[in-house]
């Protein structure tokens, strides 16, 4: 997938390659990415082969950034065999920046080894998810703020960029508090060095979220909530904050103004202006 995304220096072209490998060992309640992973460990050579095939038809000019998303943790040796890192780095050599995803617990020595192999700058995307104390304890992510802080400090110390993910609609966060806690999570990530932060609306469909919804512990986020969070986060100047619009059509909202609200979110995603476009007046939403 080739697309533009906003950076601190303006828009940059990025190519995202979705790699199929071993399932993540952290069974987070909100996650549905296990549906695109393997039952066993990733075989050596599989990921370089996938990456080479994905990049082969890429037309010049080469995008600025390569994002390698494997629906798991890039620095988990079961998911990404260490012996494959040199070849992956070689394939990534035309790119000025490379982003991989990782749980904070797997950030460490292997991260620095891979950074040293790359011709470009490494960025690690880490899911902070939420700073709501009750919700964080129920996500089954095995992550506390202290561990996130250590990972963030480690990356900063070794000149590795940090991208963070914040959830909108995290289970166990009351719906009426969802916007505030998402904004607080984004602010926390920015204060700890994240240069880019993506707000991700929690999706249903993995079975667990439906179970929690039936128990009253999860209320699906809405389009207006996503719009409001992004609008409030424009005041954060130390990081680029964007909304994840993957499956945005699944977010509930007024059909009379849905198209205009989605367009407004897209505009805020790409515009560096601290002043958001005016809200869409909608009689049905009034």
- Which CATH number is 2-270 given? 3.20.20.70
Q: What are phi and psi of 276, to 5 degrees?
A: -75, 155
* Cα torsion angle, 267, 262, 182, 35, sign: negative
Q: Which of 19, 77, 16, 27 is nearest to 49 (CA)?
A: 19
Instruction: Tell me the helix, strand and coil percentages in the chain, rounded to 5.
Output: 35, 20, 45
pTM of the predicted model, to two decimals?
0.95
Q: What is the pLDDT of residue 13?
A: 97
Q: What is the pLDDT of residue 29?
A: 73
Q: How many CA atoms lie within 13 A of 165 on its CB side?
A: 19
- pLDDT, tens digit, 9 for 90 and up, residues 96-112: 999 999 999 999 999 99
Compute CA 240 distance to the chain's CA centroid, rounded to the nearest angstrom.
13
- pLDDT, tens digit, 9 for 90 and up, residues 193-223: 999 999 999 988 888 889 999 999 999 999 9
- pLDDT, tens digit, 9 for 90 and up, residues 142-184: 899 999 999 999 999 999 999 999 999 999 999 999 999 999 9
Q: What is the pLDDT of residue 34?
A: 72
| Tokens standing for residue 107 | 């950030």
Whether pLDDT at 286 is above 70: no
């Amino acid at each position: 997938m080739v697309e533009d995304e906003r950076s601190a220096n303006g828009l940059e072209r990025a190519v995202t390659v979705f790699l199929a490998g071993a399932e993540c060992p952290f069974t987070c309640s909100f996650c549905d990415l296990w549906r695109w992973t393997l039952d066993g460990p990733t075989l050596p050579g599989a990921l370089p082969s996938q990456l080479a095939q994905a990049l082969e038809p890429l037309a010049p000019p080469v995008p600025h950034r390569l994002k390698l998303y494997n629906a798991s943790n890039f620095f988990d040796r079961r998911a990404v065999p260490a012996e494959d890192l040199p070849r992956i780095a070689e394939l990534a050599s035309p790119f000025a920046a490379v982003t991989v995803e990782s749980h904070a617990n797997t950030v460490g020595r292997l991260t620095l080894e891979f950074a040293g192999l790359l011709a470009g700058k490494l960025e690690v995307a880490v899911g902070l998810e939420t700073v709501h104390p009750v919700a964080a304890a129920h996500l089954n992510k095995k992550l506390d703020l202290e561990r996130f802080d250590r990972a963030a400090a480690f990356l900063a110390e070794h000149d590795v960029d940090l991208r963070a993910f914040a959830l909108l609609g995290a289970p166990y966060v009351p719906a009426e508090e969802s916007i505030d806690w998402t904004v607080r999570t984004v602010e926390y990530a920015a204060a700890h060095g994240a240069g880019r932060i993506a707000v991700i609306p929690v999706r249903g469909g993995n079975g667990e979220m439906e179970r929690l919804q039936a128990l009253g512990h999860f209320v699906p986020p809405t389009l207006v909530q996503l719009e409001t969070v992004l609008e409030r986060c424009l005041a954060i100047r130390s990081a680029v904050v964007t909304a994840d619009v993957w499956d945005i059509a699944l977010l509930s909202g007024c059909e009379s103004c849905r198209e205009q609200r989605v367009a407004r979110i897209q505009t805020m995603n790409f515009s560096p202006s601290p002043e958001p476009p005016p809200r869409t007046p909608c009689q049905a939403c009034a």
